[in-house]
Structure 1
Amino acid sequence: MGGRGVIGDKWSSRILWPLVISFLGLYMVVVERQLQNRERMMAEGLKNTVAEVGTGTDNV
């Protein structure tokens, strides 16, 4: 018996590498979106803080 398994090594590597590259690209998109959302939330929080200080409201 050959040591090939169900799918030959050549075909499995041909399938595996595009999948790995696709998942890495998807992961990079998800991380970028999370960073953008975090920056947006921080900017909105800073804007709200500046607005509260500007109006003189005391939130203590």
Structure 2
Amino acid sequence: MARGTIPDKWSMRVLWACAIGSAVGLYMVAVDRQMKNREKMIAEGLASVDSGGHSSENV
């Protein structure tokens, strides 16, 4: 019985480590995508402001 508890304990630790590592990885990907989407939206907003400003100047 004592032999079985040590591998079970270590396998649970490895399983938890993998789960936590996966959660951290997914969180980092989500943060990266949010930053890229925010930058893209800001760039599109600036482009629309620039194009709107130029069209009003040309009229």
Which of the five TM-score ranges fits, normalised by the shorter chain?
0.7 to 0.9
**1:50 aligned partner:** 50
TM-score (normalised: structure 2): 0.75
**2:16 aligned partner:** 16
The unaligned stretches of length 5 or more in structure 1 are none
Displacement after TM superposition at 1:12 (Å): 2.0
Runs of 4+ in 1 over 3 A off after TM superposition: none
Hey, what's the Cα distance between the residues in 1 that align with 2:9 and 2:37?
42
Identity value in percent: 33
The unaligned stretches of length 5 or more in structure 2 are none
Displacement after TM superposition at 1:13 (Å): 1.0
User: C-alpha root-mean-square deviation of aligned residues, in Å?
Assistant: 1.7
Q: Which has the higher contact order (CA 8 A, sep 6+)?
A: 1
Match of 1:54, as an amino acid? H
Match of 2:46, as an amino acid? L
